[in-house]
Chains A and B, each alone.
Chain A
Amino acid sequence: MPLLNIRNLSVAIPTPDGDVHAVRSVSLEIERGEIHGVIGESGCGKTMTGMAALGLVPKGARIAADRFHFDGEDLRENAARLRGRRIGMISQDPAAALNPVLSIARQMDDVLRAHRDMPRQARHSEAVELLAATGLPDPERVLKSYAHQLSGGMQQRVVIAQALATGADFLIADEPTTALDVSVGAQVLALLRKLVAERGLTVLMITHDMDVIAEACDRATVLYAGLSVETGPVHDVLQRPGHPYARALLAALPDAAPHGAKLEAIEGSIPPPRSQIDGCAFAPRCPQAMPVCALQAPPERTLAAHRWLCHLPEGSA
């Protein structure tokens, strides 16, 4: 049974001008011990999906789902209890996630104290151990430091160590490498892979970067306009993308264009979050759109573990 099992999740935020459909219909199945990438452009609902799993949707937002389970528990009722205990969060900007005027030791200890019933000395050695596990050299010195004395990569490692300190076995990483240099970002991704392998963690990786998906994830789900339009093993999604949007995303990578040629871009923009969508959400921007696309919701196509929504028959890419 998947650790995180979401079927047709929707999050609607009421506003005076009508509901904002932040998430329209997202399905996610994340197995224990995998890194599952969720990719899409800004406003496609990837962060809101993560926030919903943490129980942190804005006030008044309506969550509906056919299934919204974490390890058999319904997240609609238990998110607040699971958050910070079994579900941890790694944020985009590690510098902001650390209090600038408190030492790392203080902040690590606060988290440990909240979750482990241990004497002070034991908490200290636990903190040292966790920091060492994230590959920080000289953890004792790091504990005495303040956030500004650490580099971005070190800060992100501290944040990851804090997430581990909660004892969480499921981490939601919201663009954990966006604020970092490319090389440091790669190290952080490698660290996450290592922690998944060594500690049996499960990670939901929110990103807009196909490279991150290729580098770190086992499986991936592509979101578009609040809909999960494609999901499958990373290999399949990258090599044989089924949904035209996923193909367009891959074509838009700078590496995909021959040197000197104009970069591919996806024309147009995502449908406004307040609008009602008839047919396929991507149809107005799709180079292969057919008349039926604007009228009817696309059917699900399946190829082993690889699934996507499209009117185009399989293999017509």
Chain B
Amino acid sequence: MTRLVQRLGWPGTIALVVILLLVLVAVLAPWVAPYPQQGVGVPNVAAKLSSPSAQYWLGTDHLGRDMLSRIIYGTRISLTNGVLIVAFSLLIGLPVGLAAGYFGGWIDEALMRGTDVFLAFPALLLAVLMAAALGPGFLNSIIAVSVTWWPWYARLARSEVLVLRNQPYVEAARLAGVSHGRIIIRHILPATGRPLTVQAALDVGPALLTAAALSFLGLGVLPPTADWGQMVDAGRKFFPARWWYSATPGLTIFIVALAFSVLGDALRERKGGTARASA
């Protein structure tokens, strides 16, 4: 623990703890949520729009569901969103970047110019366009965000490969007649994968934010599934009189986004880091 604080500093450590708690809460949602039924979406109209109290710590929404339970169930959606977006993006971006960097020449030109097309649009606008075209829904919103996300991984992977490609041991393997596929899997992928997975882990936060933005616009997960962005949106009608409806999920988004960003900064500036750890 002291070593962790030394490495990340206090803000980074706190951010890490917040994120770990979030994951724990997501996994244990049915046990930590005070009203698991309402968290899933069962209405409780008798208590609709109650203000925060000992019974409902964060108040209830327009169907009387406990906000705290909704937010806790929302962590599941948000985290899966973030992780899946990053995973999909890696799945597309990594092979594209590997091929472009490794083979170079016209393959590189073609792939990277194609990538540039996606980067030419503002990311959120493109995501909204995609989501609108595909229609709302859990998987569609993930695909929509991934489409704007993968070009960054393609670029990062390519830049890593450009360095590795000219390593003498890669040239030696090529000279010894080892096939391209095997060289990529053995020599290139493991060394590219590490910086890329670090980047991807840090991207879960921003990705989940973008997904929340989509669902705020009504292009994400559909009710009754709990989702932070969609809850902020639903609460707008009752704002500011029933301020907790929009504010509590909004504050949650803020805290989570802040935690990821602080952790990202801490990792970048980490003291006593080694070359291996930074890779």
**Contact count band on B:** 10 to 19
Contacts A96-B168, A97-B169 given; indicate if A102 touches B177 (C-beta within 8 A).
no
Contacts of B173 in A (CB 8 A): 99, 107, 110-111
B168 (CB) vs chain A CBs: closest residue: A96
Q: What distance in Å separates the Cβ of B109 from its nearest Cβ neighbour in chain A?
A: 14
A114 touching B168, Cβ below 8 Å: no
* B-contact 0/1 string along A162-202, CB 8 Å cutoff: 11011000000000000000000000000000000000000
A159 to B175, CA, bound (A): 12
Within 64-118 of A, Cβ neighbours of B (below 8 Å) are at 83-85, 88-89, 91, 93, 96-102, 106-107, 110-111, 113-115
* A-contact 0/1 string along B213-244, CB 8 Å cutoff: 00000000000000000000000000000000
A99 (CB) vs chain B CBs: closest residue: B169
Chain A residues within 8 Å of chain B by Cβ, number: 27
Contacts of A111 in B (CB 8 A): 173, 176-178
Q: What distance in Å separates the Cβ of B262 from its nearest Cβ neighbour in chain A?
A: 32
A83 touching B168, Cβ below 8 Å: no
Q: Is residue B268 within 8 Å, beta carbon to beta carbon, of the partner chain?
A: no
Q: Is residue B172 within 8 Å, beta carbon to beta carbon, of the partner chain?
A: yes
Contacts of B53 in A (CB 8 A): none
Q: Is residue B190 within 8 Å, beta carbon to beta carbon, of the partner chain?
A: yes
* A-contact 0/1 string along B135-179, CB 8 Å cutoff: 000000000000000000000000000000001110111111111
Main secondary structure of the interface of B (DSSP, over half): helix
A91 touching B178, Cβ below 8 Å: no
Q: Is residue A205 within 8 Å, beta carbon to beta carbon, of the partner chain?
A: no
Q: What distance in Å separates the Cβ of A264 from its nearest Cβ neighbour in chain B?
A: 35
A106 to B176, CA, bound (A): 14
A91 touching B172, Cβ below 8 Å: yes
A107 to B174, CA, bound (A): 12
- Best-surrounded residue of A85, A93, A162, A165 (most CB of chain B within 10 A): A162
Contacts of A159 in B (CB 8 A): 172
Q: Is residue B182 within 8 Å, beta carbon to beta carbon, of the partner chain?
A: yes
Q: What distance in Å separates the Cβ of B52 from its nearest Cβ neighbour in chain A?
A: 54
A165 to B176, CA, bound (A): 8
Q: Is residue B187 within 8 Å, beta carbon to beta carbon, of the partner chain?
A: yes
Q: Is residue A54 within 8 Å, beta carbon to beta carbon, of the partner chain?
A: yes
Contacts A89-B175, A162-B176, A163-B176 given; indicate if A110 touches B168 (C-beta within 8 A).
no
B177 touching A99, Cβ below 8 Å: no
- Best-surrounded residue of B169, B174, B187 (most CB of chain A within 10 A): B169
Contacts of B176 in A (CB 8 A): 84, 88-89, 110-111, 114, 162-163, 165-166
B182 touching A97, Cβ below 8 Å: no
Q: What distance in Å separates the Cβ of A311 from its nearest Cβ neighbour in chain B?
A: 41
Q: Is residue B113 within 8 Å, beta carbon to beta carbon, of the partner chain?
A: no
Q: What distance in Å separates the Cβ of B192 from its nearest Cβ neighbour in chain A?
A: 13
> Of A101, A106, A114, which contacts B177 at CB under 8 A?
A114
* B-contact 0/1 string along A269-305, CB 8 Å cutoff: 0000000000000000000000000000000000000
Q: What distance in Å separates the Cβ of B177 from its nearest Cβ neighbour in chain A?
A: 3
A99 to B167, CA, bound (A): 9
A162 to B176, CA, bound (A): 7
A313 to B268, CA, bound (A): 71
Q: Which 8 A-B pairs give the minimum distances between C-beta atoms?
A: A84-B177, A96-B168, A97-B172, A99-B169, A111-B176, A89-B175, A114-B177, A110-B178
Q: What are some 12 contacts across the A-B interface (CB < 8 A)?
A: A83-B177, A84-B176, A93-B168, A96-B168, A100-B169, A110-B176, A110-B186, A111-B176, A115-B177, A159-B172, A162-B176, A166-B176
Q: Which residues of A come within 8 Å of B, CB atoms?
A: 54, 83-85, 88-89, 91, 93, 96-102, 106-107, 110-111, 113-115, 159, 162-163, 165-166
20 more A-B residue pairs beyond the given contacts A100-B169, A159-B172, with a C-beta to C-beta distance below 8 A: A83-B177, A85-B177, A89-B175, A89-B176, A91-B168, A96-B167, A96-B169, A97-B168, A98-B169, A98-B172, A101-B190, A102-B186, A102-B187, A106-B186, A110-B176, A110-B182, A111-B177, A114-B176, A114-B179, A163-B176
